[in-house]
Amino acid sequence: MATQIDEVAKVYARSLFELARELGGNPGVAAMGEELREVCAIVRADRSVLELFRSPIVDPGQRGASLTRIFKGRVTDTFLNFILVLNRKGRLAQLLSIEDAYDAMEQDAFGRIEVDVFTVSGSIDAATQATLVDDLTRSLGK
């Protein structure tokens, strides 16, 4: 996750978060977050999708039609409408930053703290993981 999230991304993330909560409570927030992460994973994995999202050369109307063809039936109508709003407002290139901001809001809402653990072997055994969870729970009060 990025360490600094721009204010515009926070505004759009907050709007999506509040809409998800209004439509489905905490499960809606989690589901919308998963949808956002999945679309962002596609954007990261496929350079042509990234270019479609970022290119100032592509007409917003044509891009909107392409986005509808790509995502209709694959994402909820709510999320598709969100993407189309970003496109109309010229903010689609900020989707990855919006993902970071949404993730931070989601983690906060669910009382979670993201922790990265680095090991020499690249993995951690169950006993060590349990010890880390206990230690972090005690020190963070969560």
User: How many Cα atoms within 13 Å fall on the side-chain side of residue 134?
Assistant: 6
Q: Are 24 and 31 in contact (CB under 8 A)?
A: yes
Separation in Å, CA 62 to CA 25, 56, 69, 128: 34, 12, 11, 52
pLDDT tens for 90-114 read 999 999 999 999 999 999 988 887 7
pLDDT tens for 130-139 read 888 787 778 8
DSSP-H helix ranges across the chain? 7-45, 47-54, 60-71, 77-88, 95-109, 126-140
Residue 49 makes CB contacts below 8 A (sequence gap 6+) with: 42, 43, 70
